Amino acid sequence: MTNTATIIGGGVIGGGWAARFLLNGWNVRVYDPDPEAERKINEVMVNARHALPMLYDYALPDEGALSFHDTIEDAVAGAAWIQESVPERLEIKHKVFQEVQAHCSTSSVIGSSTSGFKPSELQDGATQPGQILVTHPFNPVYLLPLIEVVPTDKNTPETIDRTKEILSVLGLYPLLVRKEIDAHIADRFLEAVWREALWLVKDGIATTEEIDNAIRYGFGIRWAQMGLFETYRVAGGEAGMKHFMAQFGPALKWPWTKLMDVPEFTDELVDLIAGQSDDQSGHLSIRELERKRDNNLIAMMRALKQQGNAAGQLIKDHQKSLRPVLTDANPIVSMRRTVPVDWTDVNGHMNEGRYGQLFSDAAEEIMAHVGADDDYIANGLSYFTVETTVKYLAETHAGEEIEVHTRITEGKGKKLRCFHEMKRASDGELMATCDQFMLHVSLETRRTCEPADHVRQKVEALAALHEEN
Ligand SMILES: NC(=O)C1=CN([C@@H]2O[C@H](COP(=O)(O)OP(=O)(O)OC[C@H]3O[C@@H](n4cnc5c(N)ncnc54)[C@H](O)[C@@H]3O)[C@@H](O)[C@H]2O)C=CC1
Ligand SMILES: C[N+](C)(C)CC(=O)CC(=O)[O-]
ipTM confidence = 0.97
Nearest to 154 by CA among 121, 185, 186: 121
Q: Say whether both 249 and 155 belong to one domain.
A: no
**pLDDT for position 308:** 87
Q: Residue 200 C-alpha to ligand 2 middle, in angstroms?
A: 20
Q: Flag whether 312 is in a domain.
A: no
What CATH number did the domain enclosing 121 receive?
Answer: 3.40.50.720
What does the pLDDT average to over 52-71?
92
Has residue 310 been placed in a domain? no
Q: 48 lies in a domain?
A: yes
Q: Whose CA is nearest to atom 8 of ligand 2?
A: 138
Helix, strand, coil percentages (3-state) for the chain, rounded to 5, are 45, 20, 35
| 225 and 275 housed in the same domain | yes
Residue 304 lies in a domain: no
* Average pLDDT estimate for 226-250: 93
Domain presence at residue 300 = no
The verdict on 23 and 158 lying in the same domain is yes
pLDDT over 90 (residue 59): no
Q: Of 240, 269, 292, which closes a domain? A: 292
Question: Residue 469: is its pLDDT beyond 70?
Answer: no
Does one domain contain both 368 and 420?
yes
Indicate whether 302 belongs to any domain: no
The yes-or-no verdict on residue 419 having pLDDT over 70 is yes
- Domain count for the chain, please give it: 3
Could you tell me the distance, in angstroms and rounded to a whole number, from the CA of residue 135 to the centre of ligand 1?
Answer: 14
pLDDT digits (tens, 9 = 90+) for 172-210: 999 999 999 999 999 999 999 999 999 999 999 999 999
Task: Tell whether 8 and 131 lie within a shared domain.
Answer: yes
Has residue 307 been placed in a domain? no
For residues 210-217, give the mean pLDDT: 94
pLDDT reading at 260 higher than 90: no
Sequence letter at residue 128:
Q
Confidence of residue 374 (pLDDT cuts 50, 70, 90): very high
The pLDDT assigned to 25 comes to 96
Q: Are residues 333 and 229 part of one domain? A: no
- Whether residues 335 and 195 share a domain: the answer is no
Which pLDDT belongs to residue 36? Answer: 96
Contacts of 445 (CB under 8 A, 6+ apart): none
Which of 274, 292, 310 represents a domain boundary (last residue)?
292
Average pLDDT, the chain: 95
Q: Which of 319-323, 333-337, 452-456 is predicted least confidently?
A: 319-323
Atom index in ligand 2 nearest the CA of residue 13 equals 10
pLDDT (tens digit, 9 = 90+) per residue, 85-116?
999 999 999 999 999 999 999 999 999 999 99
Confidence at 309, pLDDT banded by 50, 70, 90: confident
% residues pLDDT > 90 (the chain): 86
Q: Does residue 210 share a domain with residue 168?
A: no
| Number of the ligand closest to the Cα of 90 | 1
Q: For the residues 129-155, what does the mean pLDDT come to?
A: 97
Q: Which domain does 234 fall in, by range?
A: 186-292
This prediction's pTM: 0.87
331 in the same domain as 194: no
- What is the DSSP track for 114-179? -SS--HHHHHTT-SSGGGEEEEE--SSTTT--EEEEE--TTS-HHHHHHHHHHHHHTT-EEEE-SS
- At residue 435, the pLDDT reads 98
Pocket of ligand 1 (CB under 6 A): 8-14, 31-34, 37, 85-88, 92, 96, 113-115, 136-137, 139
Contact assessment for residue 422 and residue 431, using Cβ atoms and an 8 Å cutoff: yes
Residue 468 has pLDDT above 80, yes or no: no
Q: Give yes or no: residues 198 and 255 share one domain.
A: yes
Where is the domain boundary, 137, 153, 176?
176
Q: 62-71, 123-132, 195-204 — which is least confidently predicted?
A: 195-204
Same domain, 270 and 333: no
Same domain, 271 and 349: no
Closest CA to 83 of 13, 36, 170: 13
Q: Is the pLDDT of residue 247 over 80?
A: yes
Angle at 357 between CA 356 and CA 359, to 5 degrees: 65
| Residue 306 is assigned to a structural domain of this protein | no
**Annotated binding-site positions:** 9-14
DSSP state of 81: E
